[in-house]
Structure 1
Amino acid sequence: MSRDMNGSHLDHLFSNSAARLDRWRDLNAKAQRWAAEARAGKSQEGSAPVQGALADLRAMEPYFAYPGAQLLRAVDDRLADGDALGTARLVLRMSNALLSGSYRYDESEWDAADDTSAEAPDRLPPGLGAGVRRPYFETLFVSPMSATRAASVCQEIRQLRRPDDGLVYEPVLVGSFEDAVLATILNGKIEAVVIYDGIPFASKHDANLLRDFLAAYAHMDTYTGVSPSEIGIKLARFIANIRPELDIYLLTDRKVEQLAGDSAASDIRRVFYEAEEPMEVHLNILEGVRDRQATPHFDNLKQYAMRPISTFHALPIARGKSIIKSNWIRDFGEFYGLNLFLAETSATTGGLDSMLEPTGTIKVAQEKFARAVGADHVFFVTNGTSTSNKMVYQAVTKPGDIVIVDRNCHKSHHYGMVLSGAQPLYVEAFPMTEYSMYGAVPLRTIKQALLDLQAEGRLDKVAMVTLTNCTFDGHIYNTRQVMAECLAIKPDLIFLWDEAWFGFARWSPFLRPRTAMGAAAALERWRDDPAAQQAWDAQVQELGAQWDPKDPRLLERQLVPNPKAMRIRVYETDSVHKSMSSLRQGSIVAVRDEDYDHHVSAFHEAVFIHASTSPNAQIIASLDIARRQMELEGYELVMRAIEVALAIRREIAQHPLISKYFSVLGADKMIPPEFRPSGFSDYLAAETNWLTAVKALKDDEFCLDPTRLTLVCGTAGFDGTAFKNLLASKYNIQLNKTSRNSVLLQSNINNTRSDVAALIKVLLDISEGIEARLRAEGEAGRAAFAAKVASLMEDVPNLPNFSRFHDGYRDNPASATTEGNMRTAFFAAYDEDECEYLPLMNPALDDRLKNGPELVSANFVIPYPPGFPIMVPGQVIDADTIEFMRKLDVKEIHGYNAARGIKLIQPSTISGKSKG
């Protein structure tokens, strides 16, 4: 492994493909410089810089099919001959092929000859010439063979191709356990892995730091003593933990019948007897990838659009004739294309599956999505994650149930509890007052709420814990630890993780363990491990089987659930359209609930209540397509999205002028140190290396989503809303979340490095404008600017916590916990005669705060930003909340009528109403 590859560069950890392409650009630049010097007769360093760049690159290349050993040998030969021009031509062609991806379909790119019009090497089956495009991927073969034998094996594999395969793959051959892991991490083009049993463990490459990283991240050191007869299965398990979407095949000379039935081989798609016909392996590789490539609903929709159908149902837009033949709206059809209308039909006419009772292609598409995200069930939702959340509340909670919920979660959760009658017990996130935003809820706070209910004998009333993962601003929970410690207190708790912004994380090996489904799978594996029972027994020895919920040790130590009593009951909602290639409103509910059968009828009822009887077939198709893309290239796309975010951080921090006015907040600013025992501070910090970042992602109570960047603009004299509007109106840069003095930038699978360049140029333009204005305005202008910055960065309102529900909306006002009957208060506000309004600046409001009677909110009041309720129905409004509202400078406040004031429930109404 080269020095650079073993360095502390985080982009090499999070986006290996980009790091590799950077090295190829460097090699090309040096080769072109050498060629230019040779033409001019001024060569001073000769080929040394090219050879150095090639040496840095060479360590990665065995893990990729292109350019391969033959082309690299051709470069070596030209370097040895001192052929600067020939070297430059070949390196340029190889670099361009990698950047454009042309090697995937243009056979001439694999030829070392300068004259690429010459006959290409025999890489395609008969009847298929260059230019025939078929989906391309790479297959990793893990076999202890010599380099000479490897070349002939590659050729034998290529000769298995047939004209009707439909797909084409290139082999990547490695010879050890460690090399297989490296290839899986580095090469996003790999879609299948073929493991020959009996491979050695250690790589021949020098990769000490990477070994440390793997040991820290995945306990790779536990594999070093594995016997040769077991190493193939162990490697399959390891690769499945890194990239669960890959198809893994094992070739062995053992009793394959027994091995295929072993639960230890559950990650292996098929086991082959090593001496069997290689064509069977080839066909299985293709079948596995085709299975992920298949999009049953989208494919059915395309076929439906090709059928000659006459429509006599209530959907005039179907088939598009009312549009294409129109004198006035024909441009609508020209803009969107005829297929949009040919693929439209009424849900009750037949031809396409039903969303409400899927039995055909939608059912299969949902099953494929469940496999992709590691769930038992997935339900498609075509009206957003707001509806997904309400479905879960409707299905698994009932009137009187208590839900422990982050007060700062999306409004759909609050409305979901109004609909189901569940009572929220709000728990508070840690504040980031300087930036007018909240973080996430500490685990200690959640445990305290559960233990308080246990102390009062009401733990049985708790149905669910609801948290947002990750938060709008990028705070990610340690989901496994949260669920484990909560299950230690109540073993049958249901968890709803709102991952509207985090669906992409499934395809990152670093982020997946922090997703709801990833953590649920980890808990299941832990429960099956004998060590789990040992940990429980040790805890019983210390705390007793029936602990005192007021024992302070319960908050201080990490609690262990009883593996024999705990249930895995996890629901995850994803806005697929927010991080994958889905149309707006495309969402899913992912279920991994061992007691789902108890709720299956209720869940179907919730679907009937909330799902449209006329779902958009195009949204369903886009969910199908989004799953296909992520299963086949999500790993690489997510890595690139992370690399884009790291590039933005780096360029802003390093630019001498931009960094004067703008900065991206690191973990040290957004997560208090007590929640970061790893010591991780920022992705750009000098002390940060692979191991620090990985330890933070693995162990810290909270970590930051690397794709989300909080850009501070208050130091440039802009409030968040004004800066957002400036970017949109003048520079065509769009974003949606702001705070008083910051905006949120998000990188996703759609972004490129060109987008980074565009953003940096805009920030430079704005910074230069500030500099010019300050020079022109002199001392007075600089003073005014400093005052503006101070008002945005220092004169910030305190962030209010949830106060309490009024006693009239509480089942037990004497309880130490704060849950309330929000549903009753919500519907009490429907009668305008029983409500009153008080203007925000009216002195009478301050008098009521001081002398009573208490102010009780009649509805939800939700400022945008921050986008969560600062008042909910039945809440007693306190002075902190009023002060916060008075200092808000946002124009959009849902539930607040500026002309009339705050809507309140009259005290007489509360005293005269019964709860229920």
Structure 2
Amino acid sequence: MRFQFPIIVIDEDFRSENSSGFGIRSLVTAIEAEGMEVLGVTSYGDLTSFVQQQSRASCYILSIDDDEFSEANQEETLTRLRAFVAELRFRNADIPIFLYGETRTSHHLPNDILREMHGFIHMFEDTPEFIARYVVREARAYLDNLAPPFFRALVHYASDGSYSWHCPGHSGGVAFLKSPVGHMFHQFFGENMLRADVCNAVDELGQLLDHTGPIAASERNAARISHADHLFFVTNGTSTSNKIVWNSTVAPGDIVVVDRNCHKSILHSIIMTGAIPIFLMPTRNNFGIIGPIPRSEFDWENIQQKIAQNPFITDKGAKPRVLTITQSTYDGVLYNVEEIKDALDGKIDTLHFDEAWLPHAAFHDFYGDYHAIGEGRVRCKESLVFSTQSTHKLLAGISQASQILVQDSESRQLDKDLFNEAYLMHTSTSPQYAIIASCDVAAAMMEPPGGTALVEESITEAMEFRRAMRKVDEEWGSDWWFKVWGPDHIAEEGMGEREDWMLRAGDNWHGFGDLAEGFNMLDPIKATIVTPGLDLDGNFDDWGIPAAILTKYLSEHGIIVEKCGLYSFFIMFTIGITKGRWNTLVTELQQFKDCYDSNSPLWRCMPEFLAKNKHYEGWGLRDLCNAIHNVYAQHDVARLTTEMYLSTMVPAMRPGEAWAKMAHREVERVDIEELEGRITAMLVTPYPPGIPLLIPGERFNRTIVNYLRFARTFNEQFPGFETDCHGLVKEMKDGKARYCVDCVKD
């Protein structure tokens, strides 16, 4: 299989009719005769933009001929050359770089430039054919070493042309070619993806299930890059990674300490393992943004007190088996992991950090102690440390690509054979090899310096977006605009300092109260855009723009956001975000403002939404915003949702026992009006924000019931903006909607 990686020549005489031009074009002809593509340009142009194209090149040839090194131009040429090489090496330590000229030698160049070179070409001293073979050899050696182990083996297998008699049944895509619709599928996804979709019986690709062959080599390579002691690829997402970690260490009746702001996969793990949870409660502001768990919640005395108060724990002195913390929160709040390790090492058997949204942090010093496993992380004396990461969320994995990282303690190593029993319990015997390859490649992409550069660029782009939004705000003056949630002070250029992003007690911007010094920071690549209408104290303005309306508008205009709250929405600056993408968001927000200010009719500004919701025929955009805003204010919904999540959740049964009632159908469907005091058999999860509110075995309180009443009323008034609540069942009876939850029978 041939990959397209041209050799790039930069020479101002590339198209000139002089001896230098003839010489370089002769070399290009000889290189092309060796089967390599050549791209010739006459100047560096914008250095940063040009160097960002290095991912598509196999080699650079840079001219330092006599004209460019004339007495008048030499200093300028050296400065330009030095800057270009520095930018290139910032991203790529290995790509070959050659210098060439007619009379100049290494004697004329400073050592800081020379040491980055792979060779020095003197035109006319050797034949173009000889020089071409020399350059092509280096370019091909570079390309041969690019692919990590599993991806290299998969490419080789898919290119081999072997007939396969194993599953999957499409046999390398051939089955699709026998059907018209299959032909469409084949054309859309392409030959390579289908040839690479193979069975786990292919010996030369190794085994994901027992971690052998090229797959094992790639897991070891990813562990080296991530500075982990062990690393395992997972093809079913971090939901599955979390369950693997739990099943490897938790048994029925074990005590577990869990962030109440956890992903539902952790709650599923509690149910499946039969564990008894002790919850650490996070803070929350009235924007609906979930904040950090206070530092005091991690004090061992506080955890012991929670254990003592739990009615289902008989052995109050038993050591908890696992601590699971959401790192980072969905809105980007991070914990100082070293402080947590210091506080709980040896007191809890396993420290598990759900870093689904933080796999990038290990590859840049900006994040310091605010991630679990990486270079410089202190090893616990007794506790094992796990990090589960969604490679597909913030690195370059494809959907469902995930990985489990492990750091051994000083006194204990992971028993990989026992761990693999839990791994086998949750891993398909027919894994998708494209997902494995993307785990492999995503890890290889983060090898320094390339990975460091990618993370730095994402932080820088996020900072540029924040500065652009503030600039627009300043230019609007007293008129309204959107805010980006974050510290009051940000750097005027570049990334700024880690200290700029710390959450401090007394700061008004975050709304989380009295936080411990140095314990939390905000990840700048997570941006929450706040719309007008609500302040941090939960007070509603006379007018406002509910975020649900704005995000539907943006969706119709080609912008899909990650998460939406009452008066905020969330976007992420991953390593794939571009200037064009975030600048387009800024301009679309401007367009929305114009439509709102003019009360543009919905048929003009949101025609797709109106076509599905004729209820709003004749409404303007501002009319719609005012109607929903007034209902929010009438029900004081910001304070209601804040109080709901911070209210006391009373455990009446073990989660696993309550789930067993559901499995045995010993449940009944209870109307909202009769829910208070009843025990839920289901997870109850409102969207937004998508955080589980109640878990099986807990009782409904009055605050939660009031919220469900509001959701029922709101859904009836505003079709198209329904508040989705997983676990809340809508039934139609005599033409009327009835909202219920499955509860344990009394």
If the TM-score is normalised by the length of the shorter chain, which range does it land in? Answer: 0.7 to 0.9
Q: Which structure 2 residues correspond to residues 520-669 of structure 1 after superposition, within 5 A?
A: 521-524=376-379, 566-594=381-409, 597=413, 599-632=415-448, 633-655=450-472, 656-657=475-476, 660-667=479-486
Q: Deviation at 1:650?
A: 1.2
Structure-1-length-normalised TM-score: 0.59
1:469 aligns with 2:344: no
In the alignment, the residues of structure 2 paired with residue 610 and residue 740 of structure 1 have an alpha-carbon distance, to the nearest angstrom, of 36
Taking structure 1 as reference, are residues 589 and 783 closer, same or farther at Cα in structure 2, changes over 3 Å only? Answer: closer
Letter in 2 for 1:571: F
Letter in 1 for 2:262: C
Amino acid at match of 1:664: K
**Aligned partner letter, 1:630:** M
In structure 2, how many angstroms separate the alpha carbons of the residues matched to 1:593 and 1:783? 59
The whole-number CA distance in structure 2 between the counterparts of 1:381 and 1:658 is 50
* Structure 1 residue 682, shift from structure 2 partner: 4.2
Mapped to 2, the partners of 1:466 and 1:838 lie a distance apart of 32
Deviation digits for residues 290-343 of structure 1, max 9, x if unmatched?
A: 998441110000110122322222322232221234444212212222111222
1:599-629 Cα distance to aligned partner (Å, 9 max, x none): 5343211111100000000010011111111
Equivalence for 1:172: none
Letter in 2 for 1:637: L
Deviation string for 1:516-552 (max 9, x for gaps)? 1149x4323xx8xxxxxxxxxxxxxxxxxxxxxxxxx
Q: Which residue of 2 aligns with 1:357?
A: 210
Contact 1:507–1:635 at 8 Å: present in 2 too? yes
Within a 5 Å distance, the mapping from 1:122-521 to structure 2 comes to 136=95, 151=110, 154-155=113-114, 158=117, 293-432=146-285, 434-447=286-299, 448-452=301-305, 458-487=316-345, 490-518=346-374, 521=376
Whether contact under 8 Å (1:399, 1:422) holds in the other structure is yes
Question: Structure 2 CA distance, aligned partners of 1:166 and 1:696?
Answer: 53
Aligned match for 2:728, one of 877, 880, 896: 896
Tell me the equivalent position of 1:886.
709
State the alpha-carbon separation in 2 of the partners of residues 516 and 480 from structure 1: 8
Task: Note the C-alpha offset of 1:700.
Answer: 2.0
Counterpart of 1:858 (choices 651, 664, 681) is: 681
Residue 137 of structure 1, CA deviation: 6.8
1:763 is aligned to 589
Question: How far is the alpha carbon of 1:391 from its aligned partner?
Answer: 0.4
Instruction: State the match for 1:6 in structure 2.
Output: none
Q: How far did residue 398 of structure 1 move?
A: 1.1
Change (3 A) 1:449 1:657: same
Distance in 2, matches of 1:164 and 1:611, equals 47
Per-residue deviation, residues 36-93 of structure 1 (Å, max 9, x unmatched): xxxxxxxxxxxxxxxxxxxxxxxxxxxxxx99xxxxxxxxxxxxxxxxxxxxxxxx93
Q: Secondary structure at the match of 1:773?
A: coil
Asked if the contact 1:492/1:569 (under 8 Å) is kept, the reply is no
Q: CA deviation at 1:446?
A: 2.5
Distance 1:336 1:110, change over 3 A: farther
1:314/1:706 Cα in 2 relative to 1: closer, same or farther (>3 Å)?
A: same
Which stretches in structure 2 are left out of the alignment for 5+ residues? 1-8, 11-41, 71-76, 82-91, 99-105, 121-130, 310-314, 505-515, 534-542, 603-619, 715-721, 732-737
Q: Counterpart of 2:555 in structure 1: which amino acid? A: A
Q: Write out per-residue CA displacement over residues 377-401 of structure 1, whole angstroms, 9 at most, x where no aligned residue.
A: 1110001000000000100111111
Contact map agreement 1:664 1:709 (CA 8 A) in 2: no
Q: Offset of 1:573 from its aligned partner?
A: 0.4
CA drift of 1:437 comes to: 3.1
Equivalent AA in structure 1 for residue 724 of structure 2: E
Q: Distance in 2 between matches of 1:513 and 1:631?
A: 20
Contact 2:546 2:628 in 1 (8 A): no
Say which SS state the counterpart of residue 301 (structure 1) adopts. Answer: helix
CA contact (8 A) 1:450 1:459 kept: no
Task: List per-residue Cα deviations over 1:444-489 (Å, max 9, x = no partner).
Answer: 01325324268787343311111101111111111111221123xx
Q: Which amino acid aligns with 1:426?
A: F
AA at the equivalent of 1:611: T
Q: Paired residues, what number?
A: 601
Aligned to 1:480, what secondary structure does the other structure show?
A: helix
Q: Which amino acid in the other structure matches residue 378 of structure 2?
A: L
The whole-number CA distance in structure 1 between the counterparts of 2:296 and 2:669 is 38
Mapped partners of 1:292, 1:660: distance in 2: 56
CA change 1:318–1:859 in 2 (3 A) is same
Q: Secondary structure in 2 aligned to 1:437?
A: coil
Asked if 1 retains the 8 angstrom alpha-carbon contact of 2:284 and 2:291, the reply is yes
Post-superposition CA distance 1:747-787 (Å, at most 9, x none): 111111111221111011111122222999xxx99899667
Is contact 1:837–1:901 with CA below 8 Å preserved after alignment? no
CA contact (8 A) 1:857 1:872 kept: yes
1:792-803 to 2 correspondences below 5 Å = 792=632, 795-796=637-638, 797-799=640-642, 800=644, 801=646, 803=648
Whether the 8 Å CA contact 2:219–2:232 is kept in 1: the answer is: yes
CA contact (8 A) 2:661 2:744 kept: no
Q: 1:442 Cα shift?
A: 1.1
> How do residues 823-842 of structure 1 correspond to structure 2 at under 5 angstroms?
823-832=656-665, 834-840=666-672, 842=673
Describe the shift of the 1:168–1:585 C-alpha distance in structure 2 as closer, same or farther (beyond 3 A): same
Q: 2 CA distance for matches of 1:153 and 1:806?
A: 66
Q: Report deviation, 1:874.
A: 0.6
Alignment partners' CA distance in 2, 1:746 and 1:416: 27
**Contact kept? 1:863, 1:869, Cα under 8 Å:** yes
Say which SS state the counterpart of residue 362 (structure 1) adopts. Answer: helix
Matches within 5 A, 1:42-121: 93-101=43-51, 105-108=59-62, 113=67
Q: Is the 8 A contact 1:375 1:517 kept in 2?
A: yes
2:37 match: none
Instruction: Give the counterpart letter for 1:366 in structure 2.
Output: E
After superposition, give the CA deviation of every residue in 1:182-205 in whole Å (9 maximum; x if it has no partner).
xxxxxxxxxxxxxxxxxxxxxxxx
CA distance in 1, matches of 2:168, 2:116: 52
The separation in 2 between residues aligned to 1:646 and 1:340, in whole angstroms, is: 36
Q: Which residue of 1 aligns with 2:530?
A: 712
Higher-helix-fraction structure: 1
Letter in 2 for 1:827: A
Cα distance between partner residues in 2 of 1:499 and 1:876? 30
**Residues of 2 paired with 1:326 and 1:783: CA distance?**
51
Going from structure 1 to structure 2, the CA distance change for 1:692 and 1:835 (only over 3 Å counts) comes to: closer
Q: Is the 8 A contact 1:857 1:905 kept in 2?
A: yes
Instruction: Give % identity.
Output: 24
Indicate the larger mover: 603-612 or 650-659.
650-659
Letter in 2 for 1:868: I
Find the aligned partners of 1:906 and 1:159 in 2 and give their Cα distance: 72
Whether 2:700 is the aligned partner of 1:746: answer no
Deviations 1:646-694 (A, max 9, x none): 11111112213499444334445xxxxxxxxxxxx442699x9748427
Instruction: Point out where structure 1 has 5 or more consecutive residues left out of the alignment.
Output: 1-65, 68-91, 124-132, 140-146, 170-285, 528-565, 669-680, 810-820, 909-916
2: CA distance, partners of 1:450 / 1:837:
35
Corresponding letter in the other structure for 2:338: R
Tell me, yes or no, if the aligned pair for 1:653 and 1:659 is still in contact at 8 Å.
no
TM-score (norm 2): 0.72
Contact kept in structure 2, 1:652 and 1:659, CA below 8 Å: no
Contact 1:385-1:574 at 8 Å conserved across structures: yes
Deviations 1:851-892 (A, max 9, x none): xxx311111111221112111111011111112333345432
Whether the aligned pair in 1 keeps the contact of 2:332 and 2:526 (CA below 8 Å) is yes
Call closer, same or farther: CA 1:97–1:907 in 2, change over 3 Å: closer
Task: State the distance in 2 between where 1:806 and 1:345 align.
Answer: 47
Deviation of the 1:733 alpha carbon:
0.6
The whole-number CA distance in structure 2 between the counterparts of 1:694 and 1:725 is 30
Aligned CA RMSD, in angstroms, stands at 4.0
